[in-house]
Amino acid sequence: MPERPVATEDALEWARARGIGALAQKMGFEWLEFTPDRAVARMPVEGNTQPVGLFHGGAYVVLGESLGSMHANYHAGPGRLAVGVDINATHTRSATSGYVTGVCTPLHLGRTLAVHEIVVSDDEGRRCSTVRITNHLKDLPVA
């Protein structure tokens, strides 16, 4: 795992180098911004829909969990790991085309817990889903 950078401008490269995992990659996850204060990414609606053509509710959660977990791991720092312990989502609109964009902001960044809110909007800036994730921060086992 790459070391966490100190400079804000290097945080996006840290996130890209760390990787997002096979599921998010398969769904078209794309980083737009990553700083110590927030993380932003998007996913295409096409290929991530329910049979009726709406963006799948689980896809909102994948986007939210990817953003929140990654930001929590950044906060955790070297030699530590963030693991999700709770996630919930409230869907308020359905995207049917284009992209959805998630903006992840920390609500709490502590020593053992990190809580993030991810607001997911469509291309017109309308909120489609609000995801909240709590991650437990722990030390990696010493080899």
Residue 2 lies in a domain: no
Collapsing DSSP states into helix, strand and coil, what is residue 55?
strand
| Predicted confidence band of residue 75 (pLDDT cuts 50, 70, 90) | very high
Q: Which two tokens stand for residue 102?
A: 């998630």
- In degrees and rounded to multiples of 5, residue 60 shows phi and psi of -60, -40
Q: How many domains does the chain have?
A: 1
Residue identified by tokens 């990787």 is 19
Residue 1 lies in a domain: no
This model's pTM is above 0.75? yes
* Residues with catalytic function: 65
Domain that holds residue 26: 8-139
What was the pLDDT predicted at 128? 98
What was the pLDDT predicted at 90? 98
101: CATH: 3.10.129.10
